[in-house]
Amino acid sequence: IKIAVPKEHAPGEKRVALDPSVCARFAKMGLEVLLEKEAGSAAQFSDSAYADARIVNDAKSLFGEADIVVKVAPPSADEVKKMREGAVLLGFFHAHKNVDMVKALQAKKITAFAMELVPRISRAQSMDALSSQAAIGGYKAAIMGADLACRFFPMLTTAAGTIRPSKVIVIGAGVAGLQAIATARRLGAMVEAYDVRSATKEQVESLGAKFLDLGVSAEGEGGYARELTAEEKQQQQDALAKYIGQADVLITTAAIPGRDAPKLIPQSMVDGMKPGAVIIDLAAEGGGNCELTQPGKTITHGHVVIHGPLNVPSQVALHASEMYAKNLLNFLTPVIKEGALALDWEDEVIAKSCLTHEGQIKHEATRSLIE
């Protein structure tokens, strides 16, 4: 089996699908690894570090030779066209935003596995790229908050007086939010957090943060949150406003699967924030949790800085690539048997993460969008 690692071309994407150590693991399993020249260089992996790979100079022959292509960002329709008919492709796809790409996958009869569709069951935790990358986003959000703030995070007792610790509030205590809490705590901030899923209270408290009980809970399917009703949303905002007014840094990570990010922070709430307060809107990719967020930009509204970063994991490209590569290795290891690909369609992980196969769209939500 030939497995190919192309260079990523999405704007700002520094990650690479395989790092040298996972490349070595695939080679040990008997696969031939083809690496496009300099595919790992933005993540600080030189071509020479990939001792077990064959370096290929041009993308066309790389895609054309591969039985399996592994990517990070969604492929362009052009990349799909370069692939062999019937080949396997793994990566993030965000199919609802990339209809032309899905049609290209169908036309080329590509078997596409979307890492964002891997079911979040215990057995698949080691393949869960949404989690590995969200954890990086959460860590970095706390660092960004500390960087943009005009205040220290920790309490400092110095000859020049005592500095009170910053108050960091985290909204949405999923994978990213919990890592943001842990990082802000390590930097010495006082942290408060809120989530609509009441199960997060214990997780927040175990990290040494205070859980804000706003009296609204909305557990959805599969451990996710559901969308709030208009009435619940109002209740949440009324209760939240008084806490937000005390925050030095607000980190928002709230998301509902398959929807735009819920707007939780209206302009009036921003107007009530402290001078010099910072909002890190990690939900910017889905439009943002704050009404004023401009995805990809840092703006100032009154005396409040609002930062809406995109593709945060790419900013920690080396470790993000290593973790993502492990997720891919854990996904592919059980399906490679005696040097051949053996896809077990009875396996929930395989069936649910498949986007397209033999010209069909296997993922129901994408199918209803396109057909």
Contact set with ligand NAD (CB under 6 A): 120-122, 124-125, 128, 130-131, 134, 171-177, 194-197, 223-225, 228, 253-257, 262, 264
The residue (of 111 and 289) whose beta carbon lies closer to ligand NAD is: 289
State how far the Cα of 239 lies from the Cα of 262, in Å rounded to an integer. Answer: 16
Catalytic, out of 58, 78, 123, 125: 125
3-state secondary structure (DSSP) of residue 349: helix
The residue (of 26 and 139) whose beta carbon lies closer to ligand NAD is: 139
Task: State the residue number with the nearest CB to ligand NAD.
Answer: 174
Smallest separation, CB 125 to ligand NAD (Å): 4
State how far the Cα of 69 lies from the Cα of 2, in Å rounded to an integer. Answer: 9
The residue (of 20 and 174) whose beta carbon lies closer to ligand NAD is: 174
Q: Is 125 a catalytic residue?
A: yes
Catalytic, out of 126, 224, 347, 367: 224
Smallest separation, CB 254 to ligand NAD (Å): 4
Q: Is 128 a catalytic residue?
A: yes
Smallest separation, CB 268 to ligand NAD (Å): 17
Measured CA to CA in angstroms, residue 71 lies from 74, 307, 365 at distances of 7, 28, 22
3-state secondary structure (DSSP) of residue 210: strand
Specify the residue for token string 């986007």: 355
Instruction: Name the burial class of residue 165, with classes exposed (0-12), middle (13-18) and buried (19+) by CB atoms within 10 angstroms of its CB.
Output: middle
The residue (of 169 and 354) whose beta carbon lies closer to ligand NAD is: 169
Catalytic, out of 128, 195, 248, 281: 128
Order of strands, edge to edge, in the sheet holding 53-56? 53-56, 32-36, 2-5, 68-70, 88-91, 111-114, 354-357, 360-361
Q: Are 145 and 280 in contact (CB under 8 A)?
A: yes
The residue (of 57 and 125) whose beta carbon lies closer to ligand NAD is: 125
What is the enclosing helix (H) or strand (E) of 137? helix 129-148
Catalytic, out of 120, 186, 226, 367: 120
Phi and psi at residue 30, in whole multiples of 5°? 95, 5
Catalytic, out of 131, 166, 203, 237: 131
Counts of helices then strands in the chain (DSSP H, E): 12, 19
Strand partners, 54: 34
Q: Is 131 a catalytic residue?
A: yes
Smallest separation, CB 220 to ligand NAD (Å): 8
The residue (of 56 and 273) whose beta carbon lies closer to ligand NAD is: 273
Smallest separation, CB 359 to ligand NAD (Å): 31
Smallest separation, CB 320 to ligand NAD (Å): 16
Residues belonging to the active site: 120, 125, 128, 131, 224
